Structure formats: C-alpha cells, structure tokens
Structure 1
Amino acid sequence: MPTDIELDPSSLRDFFIVHLNKIYTAKSHLISSLIILEEEAHFSDLKKGIRETIDDVQKQQKRMEQVYQRLGIEFSEESSSGMLGLIKDSFEEIRQRSGQPILRDLSMLFYLHNIESIEMASFQLLQMIAVKMKDDKIKRLVRENYEDAKAGRTLLLLITTKYLTSTSS
C-alpha cells in the first residue's frame, strides 16, 4: 500500500472547481424551492428557519462567487443530479402532505436536515482541499460556508426539537 499520495495541483484545482460548481448549481435550485416552502410552512419557527436558510444560501453563493473570481473563472453549471434528485424528491414528498400541515412541516424538516447535512459535508471536504490550494482567502470563504451550513443544521435541530415538543401526541 502506498504511504504517500501525490496530488497534482492542477487536478486538485479542477476537482475543487467541479464540486464547487455542483454545490452552486444545487443551491441555485434550492433557493426557488425554499421560497415556496416558506409560504407553505405551518409552524412559525419553521417559516423563520426557512427564511434564515434562504438568507444563508444567498450569502454562501456570494462567497462562492468570490472564490470563482479569485480563481479567475466563472461558474459553470455542473450535473448535480444526486443533490437535485434529493431536492426534487423532498419537495414531492412535501406536496403529497399538503392536506396535513403537521406532517408537511415534519417532512420539510426531515428533508432540510438531509440537504443541510450534505452541504455541510461538501463544504468540509472543499475546505480541506482549499488548504492544499494555499490561498488564504479561498480557505476563509469556504470555511465560512462550512460554518454557515453547520449553524444551519444546528438551527434545524433546534426547530425540530421545539416542533416535536409543541405538537400533541
């Protein structure tokens, strides 16, 4: 088994860009869906959480645009069928619960947790790659997106806990 793995800086950069594009593509699709969810949410804390998530996603996209600028490239839409499929499936499940506000809200929380967890893991890996790229500004921007995703996940856990304790069994 090899003990040292050598990554070509150009290949690493390309990998970083492709996956940054995938996240950006998914976030672009997510925003329009979140706006609809915000209107449909029954629980007021969930509405506020979705609004905060929309604001965070927009901030994350701005940071990502700064990364693109720093790399001297423009965003290029990438196939992110896995994440987009999760978003599509999530919103289909939520629509199926349209007549059941409590289960609809719980479905929203369930899928928002899943999406936030994937984003957090993605930014964490990009953050590790950014360290190898030796650009402090890119490292900082990606780290801030990771921290936002982590905080968003914590917020969703708090909202879910409050939601489940406030609904009668």
Structure 2
Amino acid sequence: MEPSMKKQENAKGVVKATASAAKGLRELFEVGLNDIYYAEKVMTKSLPKMVENASSPELVTALKNHLAETEEHVSRLEKIFKSTGIKTVAKKSNAMEGLIKESEVTMKETELGNVRDAGIIAAGQKVEHYEIATYGTLHAFAKTLGEDKAAQLLAMNLDEKKKTDAALTGIAMASINAQAAAPNPKW
C-alpha cells in the first residue's frame, strides 16, 4: 500500500469502506446503473401523480410525454444491463427517494393551480438535474470501459433529460411563474 493511501485511511473523518465497496470503475459503473434504474422505475410511478396535480395543459402534456420517455429510459437501461452482462438490479436510490418526497411535500404545501404548477416544475427539474448528472457520469464511465453500446444508449437518455429540463424551463418562463407571482393567482 502506498504511504499516502495509509495516511488517508488513518485520517480523521475518512469514511471506512464497506466490505462490498466498489474496487474499480466497472463496479462503480454497476452501482450507478442500479441507482439510475431504480430512479427511472420510481419516476414511472411518480409522474402520473404530478400529471393529476398539474393544472396547465402545457405542463400536463409535457409530464405525459416525459412519462413515455421515462418508460423508454427504463427499456434502454435494461438493454445496457444485457449488453454489459451486468445483472439487472434496481437498488434503492436515497437521492431519488428524497427528491420524490420533496415533490410530494411541494404538492401538499401549494394550492392547486399556477403555484402548484410552478412547484411541480421546480421538483421535476431537480429530478432532471440529478438524472443529468448521473447519466453524464455513467456515459463517461461507459466510454472509459469501452462499453460502446452502453455509452450510446446512455447518451440518448442524457440528451432527452436535457431536452425535458429545457422544456420545463420554457413552460415555467412562458406563463406559469408570472401567473404564480400574481396576487391571488388562479388558473
């Protein structure tokens, strides 16, 4: 073991790795795939609730379109698992669980209409940003590992996530945010 590694392991505040900790990039890639697979599967259950709580026709359409895309993302991830020989596992994502809970709290703490729509967009964008970061990282890992098919499929998901984020921004800026800022906003 390198002297610097020994020093780091003994340093105050250094987290001790578990026995099952990833020891290489391939294992870290697998952990990331399990995480995003869980996240996408959970979103297929959460998006319909957002649709039911959205008032803006444009937002409802965007969320329904995103649900269809999310189902395609799950399918692409399953292709990645198959092409890489990694077992298909949806490992609970603490980050996604937190974002989902936050979106539910936002819906409970806002009145139906423009204010709730603005909150749904904000919650949705937080999820998209998490997924963009995850897909970007996994794409880089796949390229480094020579997993070209996986890299291609991950790039497709990443591109669609970025487009969804931009669409949500467009909907918010076109009308919802301004209407939500008005005194006594109503839909």
Q: TM-score range by the shorter chain?
A: 0.7 to 0.9
Q: 1:93 is matched with which residue?
A: 106
CA distances 1:6-62 after superposition (whole Å, capped 9, x unpaired): xxxx72111111111111111111111111111221000000110111011111111
Q: 2:152 is matched with which residue?
A: 140
Tell me which structure has the larger Cα radius of gyration. Answer: 2
1:163 positional shift: 2.6
Structure 2 unmatched runs, 5+ = 5-22, 183-187
Identity, % of aligned pairs? Answer: 24
The structure in which a higher percent of residues are helix is: 1
Q: 2:58 is matched with which residue?
A: 45
SS in 1 for 2:88: coil
What does residue range 85-164 of structure 1 map to in structure 2 within 5 Å? Answer: 85-97=98-110, 99-164=111-176
Structure 1 unmatched runs, 5+ = 3-9
* Cα RMSD, aligned residues only: 1.8
Q: 2:11 is matched with which residue?
A: none
Q: 1:6 is matched with which residue?
A: none
Would you say the 8 A contact 2:102–2:123 is kept in 1? no
Structure 1 residue runs of 4 or more that deviate by more than 2 Å after TM superposition: 163-169
Cα distance in 2 between the residues matched to 1:89 and 1:114: 10
Cα distance in 2 between the residues matched to 1:42 and 1:152: 18
Q: TM-score, normalised by structure 1?
A: 0.87
Question: Which of the numbers 45, 53, 73 marks the counterpart of 1:60?
Answer: 73
Count of residue correspondences: 160
Q: TM-score, normalised by structure 2?
A: 0.79
